[in-house]
């Protein structure tokens, strides 16, 4: 007889009457696999319904559009990940022409020495690893280069997504990406800016997470 | 209110016009939202069938899955703790906090932590636990408990919340603007997230296959609690484990659709490990506390086991005619509404909480909307039976607690009357004559307080059949 809580709990469970239950059938995949255009359209409309600003544009145009978006909001500091392709492109664009691009703050230290800075920046830009069309959500896989707090703490979160990474459903995203074989420290679905309805069910945006979510879908 | 008789709580709630208005409005709203997102009845039924099968499957392999979960979490660097009781669970959490010499904990919404009465326990040990979900923050300021498992402050209206903020938050002006109230909470709590040494959260689903903790939320406070502080403690009931990652998509659809009528929450947060080598943020330590607190006993009974399928969406509350009229506090325990009525008596025992199982009209709305098809009315009837049962094989604590000699005698008399035809004929004839003039006294008085009195036909059904035959036979 074992004397740890763990063993006592497990033993009680093992001694209970067994009930067989078959593994459930996989959920039927979303009706007809919509084409890329339809996926982009559905994602865009669902995100917009959750008060997200969505720009669908060719890859070459996203940085010029970013300049406009940031300028319109008078963003002064932008947190970015210098080691990502996205970050490198942004830094290079700013070097060539700083117009409309604010001070870039590189997330290059650990949070212990960088926390104050993260809580003070105006906005952050990250990659979205993918998206789910049927429920309307971005998939974020924070990495060493692009840490977790970027999409959480700054009041404005800008995410850049490649249109070909939009999956019809979450199940398909999991299967195609073989998630179960390689789960990162943290994986997120994000469907809009932070919100609540805790007071009289009145929807209010920007509680604890970002007040604004802006998505660039690069579709060439 | 747990110390007061349930009947008193009900009377008080029914007399509170503001409370009834708040609940009627909110529950009506939730019903419409759920209906809008589950507009296709056939599709919804298919989804519920899958949800039911996933949870049944998980329960059928519960001990194996918990071991698998523990192994996977441990491999990922998450430290797993087991607690048989809430007291032990609290102690484990306290020890982790003390080992980091932390004085403050930021909390995401967790019903299990309510079940543990963790905040009060920590306060007694000089540790401040700060609720960060807006609804929880409101009721914590006012020293209350949640009245709903999804929207804990739903019993309060704007004006009441405005008053609470004005009185309890330093420097907060009186405002009934929801956006401004929201901003007050944001500003107050940002600082707390920044400073806290420990973040605590619940768990919506724990995936055995990968050792992943799945948390859903809309506000971002859950992500704050699980990402900013250097230590994250997650607490979960042992029934939260599911087999595979691929079980999540249908369960998430069911949970969020049922809870708030959303297709997906703002955030679905999948946590698989503490900060890994080279990563720049995230907690360095993640702890998972697996709580039993009576669940392994509930598991012993094949019928009652279905209670453990619950995903805590709260839709049975929203659709319950009793809950909608009395609100969550009247139940006197942490889990209100239909799910509370089947869960609480099994955890706390029938002597203490058995009355709850009788506070239902058995209308069946809860079962009809339950995303994982828990047969709540059947379980309520079972618990009612258990209150009078003397079956020794039952595992329900307090079984037979309502047995009394008067009722036993009455039923014996009933059985005798109905097994002796001549006597039966005599009494039915007699009741047909004088039954309508019975004085409303004793048990009849209690019965008739809320019900119309029984009307007896002058001739019994047996007699009419004998005399008139059966039409259309």
pLDDT at B1 exceeding the cut of 80: no
What is the count of structural domains for chain B?
3
Statement to judge: residues B381 and B320 lie in one domain: yes
Class for the domain spanning A34-191+202-218: alpha beta
pLDDT at B147 exceeding the cut of 80: yes
Give B272 to chain A, closest Cα distance, Å: 5
pLDDT tens profile B345-392: 999 999 999 999 999 999 999 999 999 999 999 999 999 999 988 777
Q: Write down the pLDDT at residue A139.
A: 98
Domain coverage including residue B140: 58-293
CB contact under 8 A, A199 and B282: no
Between B441 and B65, residue with greater pLDDT: B65
CB contact under 8 A, A152 and B300: no
Statement to judge: residues B317 and B387 lie in one domain: yes
Statement to judge: residues B118 and B202 lie in one domain: yes
Q: State the angle between helix axes of B376-388 and B337-348 in degrees (0 to 180), rounded to the nearest 10.
A: 30
pLDDT at A30 exceeding the cut of 80: no
pLDDT at B133 exceeding the cut of 90: yes
- Closest residue in B to A107 (Cα) is B280
CB contact under 8 A, A199 and B279: no
Q: Write down the pLDDT at residue A150.
A: 98
Question: How far apart are the C-alpha atoms of B452 and A149, rounded to whole Å?
Answer: 63
Domain stops at, among B403, B429, B448: B403
Contact criterion met (CB below 8 Å) for B326 and A43? no
Contact criterion met (CB below 8 Å) for B354 and B383? yes
Give A157 to chain B, closest Cα distance, Å: 13
Q: Write down the pLDDT at residue B441.
A: 81
Statement to judge: residues B88 and B161 lie in one domain: yes
Q: Which of A4, A115, A189 is the closest to B264 by Cβ?
A: A189
Question: How far apart are the C-alpha atoms of A124 and A114, rounded to whole Å?
Answer: 14
- Tell whether B42 is covered by a domain: no
- Tell whether B44 is covered by a domain: no
Question: How far apart are the C-alpha atoms of B292 and B241, rounded to whole Å?
Answer: 12
pLDDT tens profile B191-222: 999 999 999 999 999 999 999 999 999 999 99
Q: Write down the pLDDT at residue B196.
A: 96
Between B436 and B1, residue with greater pLDDT: B436
- Greatest alpha-carbon pair distance for chain B in Å reads 92
Give B103 to chain A, closest Cα distance, Å: 19
Residues with Cβ within 8 Å of B206's Cβ and at least 6 positions away in sequence, in order, are B69, B212, B213, B214, B236, B240, B241, B242, B288
Statement to judge: residues B68 and B147 lie in one domain: yes
Q: Write down the pLDDT at residue A29.
A: 60
| Chain B residues whose beta carbon lies within 8 Å of the beta carbon of residue A111 | 228, 280-282
Q: Write down the pLDDT at residue A32.
A: 56
CB contact under 8 A, A119 and B194: yes
Q: Write down the pLDDT at residue A33.
A: 64
Statement to judge: residues B289 and B332 lie in one domain: no
Helix or strand run (H / E) with residue B83: strand B78-83
Question: How far apart are the C-alpha atoms of B351 and B413, rounded to whole Å?
Answer: 26
Question: How far apart are the C-alpha atoms of A185 and A144, rounded to whole Å?
Answer: 10
- Tell whether B299 is covered by a domain: no
Q: Write down the pLDDT at residue B471.
A: 79
Q: DSSP readout, A8-65?
A: HHHHHHHHSPP---PPPPPPPPPSS---HHHHHHHHHHHHHHTT-EEEEE-GGGHHHH
Question: How far apart are the C-alpha atoms of B380 and B377, rounded to whole Å?
Answer: 5
Q: Write down the pLDDT at residue B90.
A: 98
pLDDT at B24 exceeding the cut of 70: yes
State chain B's mean pLDDT as an integer.
94
pLDDT at B97 exceeding the cut of 70: yes
ipTM over 0.85: yes
Contact criterion met (CB below 8 Å) for A215 and A55? yes
Strand order of the β-sheet with B231-237 is: B78-83, B285-291, B231-237, B198-201, B104-107, B128-131
Strand order of the β-sheet with A123-127 is: A53-57, A212-218, A156-162, A123-127, A77-80, A103-106
CATH number where B379 lies = 1.10.1060
Statement to judge: residues B32 and B116 lie in one domain: no
CB contact under 8 A, B219 and A196: yes
Statement to judge: residues B12 and B63 lie in one domain: no
Residues with Cβ within 8 Å of A10's Cβ and at least 6 positions away in sequence, in order, are B63, B66, B67
Question: How far apart are the C-alpha atoms of B204 and B110, rounded to whole Å?
Answer: 9
- Closest residue in B to A16 (Cα) is B300
Domain stops at, among B238, B272, B293: B293
Question: How far apart are the C-alpha atoms of B13 and B155, rounded to whole Å?
Answer: 11
- Tell whether B51 is covered by a domain: no
Give residue limits of the domains in chain A: 34-191+202-218
pLDDT tens profile B206-262: 999 999 999 999 999 999 999 999 999 999 999 999 999 999 999 999 999 999 999
| Chain A residues whose beta carbon lies within 8 Å of the beta carbon of residue B132 | 208
- Greatest alpha-carbon pair distance for chain A in Å reads 73
Question: How far apart are the C-alpha atoms of B308 and B239, rounded to whole Å?
Answer: 6
Nearest to A106 by CA among A64, A78, A142, A141: A78
Between B465 and B369, residue with greater pLDDT: B369
Nearest to A164 by CA among A33, A37, A30: A37
CA distances from A40 to A31, A32, A33 (A): 17, 15, 13
- Tell whether B300 is covered by a domain: no
Indicate which of B281, B304, B309 best probes the interface with A, i.e. most A CBs within 10 Å of its own CB.
B281
Q: Write down the pLDDT at residue B3.
A: 66
CA distances from B126 to B104, B123, B129, B169, B333 (A): 9, 5, 10, 21, 25
Q: Which of A13, A147, A209 is the closest to B223 by Cβ?
A: A209
Q: Write down the pLDDT at residue B243.
A: 97
Domain stops at, among B403, B433, B457: B403
Cβ count near B317 (within 10 Å): 29
pLDDT at B404 exceeding the cut of 50: yes
> CA-based angle B85:B88:B93, to the nearest 5?
125
Question: How far apart are the C-alpha atoms of A95 and B249, rounded to whole Å?
Answer: 43
Nearest to A139 by CA among A178, A105, A165, A104: A165
Question: How far apart are the C-alpha atoms of B232 and B226, rounded to whole Å?
Answer: 6
State chain A's mean pLDDT as an integer.
94
pLDDT tens profile B289-342: 999 999 999 999 999 999 999 999 999 999 999 999 999 999 999 999 999 999
pLDDT at A1 exceeding the cut of 50: no
Segment A103-127 shows an average pLDDT of 97
| Chain B residues whose beta carbon lies within 8 Å of the beta carbon of residue A17 | 300, 302
């Amino acid at each position: 007889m074992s004397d740890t809580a763990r063993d006592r709990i497990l033993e009680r469970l093992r001694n209970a009457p067994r009930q067989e239950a078959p593994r459930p059938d996989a959920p039927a995949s979303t009706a007809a696999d919509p084409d890329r255009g339809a996926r982009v359209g559905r994602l865009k409309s669902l995100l917009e319904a959750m008060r997200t600003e969505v720009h669908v544009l060719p890859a070459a145009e996203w940085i010029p559009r970013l300049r406009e978006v940031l300028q319109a909001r008078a963003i002064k500091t932008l947190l970015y990940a210098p080691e990502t392709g996205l970050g490198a492109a942004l830094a290079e664009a700013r070097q060539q022409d700083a117009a409309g691009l604010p001070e870039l703050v590189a997330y290059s230290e650990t949070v212990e020495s960088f926390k104050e800075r993260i809580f003070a920046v105006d906005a952050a830009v990250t990659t979205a690893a993918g998206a789910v069309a049927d429920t309307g959500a971005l998939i974020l896989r924070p990495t060493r280069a692009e840490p977790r707090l970027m999409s959480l703490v700054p009041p404005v979160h800008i995410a850049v997504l490649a249109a070909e990474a939009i999956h019809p459903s979450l199940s398909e995203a999991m299967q195609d990406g073989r998630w179960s074989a390689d789960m990162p420290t943290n994986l997120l679905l994000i469907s809009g800016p932070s919100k609540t309805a805790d007071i009289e069910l009145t929807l209010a945006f920007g509680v604890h997470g970002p007040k604004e979510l802006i998505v660039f879908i690069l579709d060439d | 209110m747990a110390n007061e008789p349930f009947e008193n709580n009900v009377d008080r709630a029914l007399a509170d016009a503001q409370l009834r208005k708040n609940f009627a409005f909110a529950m009506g709203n939730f019903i419409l939202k759920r209906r809008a997102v589950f507009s296709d009845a056939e599709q919804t039924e298919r989804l519920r069938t899958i949800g039911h099968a996933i949870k049944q499957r998980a329960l059928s392999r519960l001990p194996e899955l918990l071991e698998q979960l523990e192994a996977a979490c441990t491999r990922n660097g998450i430290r797993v703790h087991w607690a048989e009781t809430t007291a032990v669970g609290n102690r484990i959490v306290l020890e982790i906090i003390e080992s980091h010499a932390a004085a403050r904990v930021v909390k995401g919404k967790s019903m299990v932590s309510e079940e543990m009465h963790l905040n009060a326990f920590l306060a007694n040990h000089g540790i401040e636990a700060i609720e960060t979900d807006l609804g929880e923050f409101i009721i914590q300021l006012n020293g209350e408990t949640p009245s709903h498992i999804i929207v804990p402050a739903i019993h309060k209206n704007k004006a009441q919340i405005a008053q609470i903020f004005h009185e309890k938050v330093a420097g907060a002006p009186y405002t009934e603007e929801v956006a401004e109230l929201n901003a007050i909470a944001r500003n107050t709590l940002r600082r707390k997230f920044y400073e806290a040494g420990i973040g605590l959260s619940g768990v919506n689903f724990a995936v055995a296959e990968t050792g992943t903790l799945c948390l859903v939320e809309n506000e971002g406070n859950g992500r704050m609690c699980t990402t900013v502080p250097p230590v994250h403690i997650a607490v979960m009931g042992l029934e939260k484990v599911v087999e595979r990652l691929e079980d999540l998509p249908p369960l998430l659809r069911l949970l969020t659709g049922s809870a708030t009528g959303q297709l997906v929450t703002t955030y679905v947060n999948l946590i698989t490990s503490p900060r890994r080598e080279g990563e720049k943020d995230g907690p360095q330590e993640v702890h998972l506390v697996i709580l039993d607190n009576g669940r392994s006993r509930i598991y012993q009974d094949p019928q009652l086991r279905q209670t453990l399928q619950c995903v805590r969406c709260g839709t049975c509350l929203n659709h319950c005619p009793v809950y909608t009229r009395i609100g969550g506090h009247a139940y006197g325990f942490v889990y209100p509404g239909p799910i509370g009525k089947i869960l609480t008596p099994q955890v706390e025992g029938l002597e203490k909480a058995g009355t709850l199982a009788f506070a239902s009209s058995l209308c069946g709305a809860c079962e009809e909307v339950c995303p994982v098809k828990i047969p709540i009315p059947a379980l309520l009837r079972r618990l009612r039976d258990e209150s009078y049962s003397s079956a020794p094989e039952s595992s329900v604590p307090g079984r037979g607690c309502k047995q009394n000699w008067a009722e036993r005698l009455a039923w014996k008399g009933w059985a005798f009357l109905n097994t002796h035809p001549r006597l039966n004929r005599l009494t039915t004839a007699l009741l047909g004559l004088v039954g309508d003039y019975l004085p409303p006294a004793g048990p009849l008085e209690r019965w008739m307080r809320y019900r119309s009195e029984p009307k007896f036909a002058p001739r019994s059904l047996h007699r009419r059949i004998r005399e008139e035959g059966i039409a259309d036979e």
